[in-house]
Amino acid sequence: MAFADWARVERVSSVGRAEIGARRIYILPTRYGLMFGALLFLMLLGSVNYVNNPGHLLTFVLAGLAANAIYQTWRNLRGLRLVCHGGPPVFSGDSVPYSVELNGAGRARPAIQLMFDDSSPVLVDIDSETRPQRVQLQLQGIPRGLHDPGRLVVSTRYPMGLLCAWCYVACSRPMLVYPKPGAQWTPPGASGDSGAHAAWGGGNDDFAGLRGYRPGDLPSQIDWKSYARERGLNTRMFSGQAATPLWIDWVHAPGGDIESRLSALTRAVLDAEAGGRRYGLRTPGTTIAPGLGPAHRHQCLRHLALYGSGDA
C-alpha cells in the first residue's frame, strides 16, 4: 500500500476552502539533507578523533542550523489557506486549467509548490502584503465526463533545501470535460432538410435582419458589406432560423460507437449555436427542449459529457 493511501488529508469545506493544519504536514530530508547529515557525522568523527575543539564548534553550529531548518520548513506550510476554484468546462483533448487560490494568512511564504498527479508542478512565492494569489495548474489527457482532480500536493523546501515538507489536500471542485467535437455534420431537421440547411447558411429563407457578431459565428453568415462600411461586425439572420427548431438526434448521428456519436452531436450543437438557430437534443432516454444561448449550449454539452455515467 502506498504512503499516500493512508496519509492524513486536509479536506476542503463545502465552498472549497481549507487551512493546512499542523497534524497534516509530513517532513523528510531531501537527498541534499541526507548528504548534509552524512557530512556532519564525518565532521563529528574527525573532531572527536583529533580532539579538535573548533571542529566540534563548527559541527554543532551546522547541526543547530539544520535543526532550525526543520522548524522553518514545517512553519512555511502550517496555516496556509487555500481555495479550490476549479476551472471552466473544456473539450476532451484540451488541457484542463484548475485554479487554486493561496493566502499566506499574514506571513510571507516563499517557494510553495503545487501539483496534482496529472499536472506539472507550479512554484509560487506568497508575499505577506499582497492579496490572495491565484495559481492555475494544467491537467492533461482527461477524457469526457465529470472528474475529481485527485489530491493536491502542497510542498515546500524552504529555507535551505535540506528538507521537504508536504501535505495532501482533497479538492472538492470536479472538472467537467465535454466530448471532443467531431467533423462537421449537418443533422436532418424535424421539418425536413430545407430547415436543416437554413440552420447553417440561411438556405432560401427570407432575410430577417442583423444581430451583433458572436464568437463562433460562421464566416458565411457575417455581413461583410456593413463591416466594410465601418458599421461593426454583424451576423445575418434568416426567417427560417426562428421558425422551426432544429433537432439534433442520436439516431441520425454518424459513427459506429458511442464516442463517435457523441463527438458528432457535440459538433452539431456547436454549429447550431453559432448559426443562431434554436435547437433541441435527443439521446436514448432523454430529450432536451429546443433553446438557444450559452446556458442551453452548456446544458446540451453537459448531458453529452455525462452520457452513460448515470449523472446525466
Q: Give tens-digit pLDDT for 244-277.
A: 788 999 998 888 889 999 999 999 999 888 877 8
pLDDT attached to residue 2? 55
The answer to whether position 181 is within a domain reads no
The answer to whether position 186 is within a domain reads no
CA 218 from chain centre, in angstroms, equals: 28
Q: Are residues 10 and 63 in the same domain?
A: yes
Q: Are residues 124 and 40 in the same domain?
A: yes
Q: Are residues 148 and 277 in the same domain?
A: no
Count of C-beta atoms within a 10 Å radius of residue 145: 19
For 109, the domain range is 3-176
The answer to whether position 172 is within a domain reads yes
The answer to whether position 311 is within a domain reads no
The answer to whether position 188 is within a domain reads no
Q: Are residues 136 and 104 in the same domain?
A: yes
112 touches 126 (CB < 8 A): yes
The answer to whether position 74 is within a domain reads yes
Q: Are residues 294 and 269 in the same domain?
A: yes
Q: Are residues 111 and 142 in the same domain?
A: yes
Q: Which of 144, 176, 208 is the last residue of a domain?
A: 176
Q: Are residues 232 and 104 in the same domain?
A: no
Q: Which of 176, 205, 229 is the last residue of a domain?
A: 176
Q: Are residues 111 and 169 in the same domain?
A: yes
The answer to whether position 185 is within a domain reads no
When divided into structural domains, the chain yields a total of: 2
The answer to whether position 310 is within a domain reads no
Q: Are residues 94 and 217 in the same domain?
A: no
Q: Are residues 21 and 115 in the same domain?
A: yes
Q: Are residues 97 and 242 in the same domain?
A: no
| Low-confidence spans in the chain with pLDDT less than 50 | 1, 190-203
Grid-cell match 447553417, residue found: 200
Q: Are residues 32 and 128 in the same domain?
A: yes
Strand partners, 135: 100
Report d(CA 218, CA 197) in Å as an integer: 13
